[in-house]
Amino acid sequence: MELILKEDVQNLGFKDEIVSVKNGYGRNFLIPTGVAVMATVSARKVLAENLKQRAFKEKAVVDEAKARAEKIQALEIKIASKVGSGDKLFGSISNADLASAISSNGDDLDKKFITLPGKTIKRLGKYEATIRLHREVSFEFPFEIVPETKA
Residues 85, 134, single domain; the answer is yes
Domains identified in the chain, total number: 2
Whether 81 and 89 have beta carbons less than 8 Å apart is answered as yes
Shared domain for 18 and 87, answered yes or no, is no
* C-alpha to C-alpha distance for 6 and 82, rounded to whole angstroms: 43
Q: What string of pLDDT tens digits covers the 151 residues of the chain?
A: 999 999 988 889 888 899 999 999 999 999 999 999 999 999 999 999 888 888 878 888 888 888 888 888 888 888 888 888 788 888 888 888 888 888 888 778 888 888 888 888 888 889 898 888 888 888 898 988 888 876 5
H or E stretch including 93? strand 88-93
Task: Please give the pLDDT value at position 150.
Answer: 66
User: Please, what's the largest Cα pairwise distance for the chain?
Assistant: 66
CATH code for the domain in which residue 42 is found: 3.40.5.10
Instruction: Determine the pLDDT at residue 33.
Output: 95
Instruction: Answer for the pair 95, 129: CB distance below 8 angstroms, yes or no.
Output: yes
In which domain, by residue range, is 7 found? 2-64
Residue-level pLDDT at 44: 93
Q: How far is CA 48 from the centre of its chain?
A: 25
pLDDT reported for residue 40: 93
Domain boundary pick from 64, 89, 104: 64
Measure the CA–CA gap between 57 and 38, rounded to whole angstroms: 26
Domain endpoint, select from 64, 91, 106: 64
